[in-house]
Amino acid sequence: MGLIGKVFGAITGIPTASDKALLDTLCLAAAVDGDASRLELGYALEIALDLPGFQKVSKKRLEKMLEEALEGVRACADTSASIQKVATRIESPEEREQAYTLAAVMEYVDGKVSDDETRFLSSFRAALGISQERGRQILAEVERELKDAQRSNLMNG
């Protein structure tokens, strides 16, 4: 998608193909260790509501879009194929890092990362063309920010 498509999407509030690929990323990450739980889908919805491409989309419509994205993930039995399908729809290096960061947040948000989730993150990073070093930096930043947020919630709550 070119600049005109991105600008048009930002003006009209219509999510772009890259925005929709970010939803697919959230659902793929949520479902990697089986099926997405209600808790994981709740996290995905809260994250998606903050993404610029969805700020003009109602919460109800976004819930429907997430359900549709999850159905697409479920329909593809091969995780590797799903990873490739999503990765090829994310165009710019910045969007690719954003997608990887979102996937990492989904995997780390519950405080534990399974072996399946670790393998998924590694495969997704490679499919996005992100170096191992940059991937490690992103994961470290996600871990640090989630720990800081948890500490802040404990102090404020």
What is the count of structural domains for the chain? 1
> pTM (2 decimals)?
0.84
39: containing domain: 3-156
Query: Band of the pLDDT at 157, cuts 50, 70, 90?
Result: low
Integer Cα distance of 90 and 22 in angstroms: 8
Residue corresponding to tokens 């947040």: 105
Here the tokens at position 66 are 């997430």
What residue spans of 34-114 are helical by DSSP H?
A: 38-50, 59-75, 79-88, 93-108
Phi-psi region of 111 (alpha: psi -120 to 50; beta: other; left: phi over 0): left
What per-residue confidence (pLDDT) applies to 3?
A: 37
pLDDT > 60? residue 73: yes
What per-residue confidence (pLDDT) applies to 40?
A: 86
Quote the longest CA-to-CA distance of the chain.
45
CATH number of the domain encompassing residue 57: 1.10.3680.10
- Range with the poorest average pLDDT among 3-7, 53-57, 65-69, 100-104: 3-7
Q: Residue 22: enclosing H or E segment and its boundaries?
A: helix 17-31
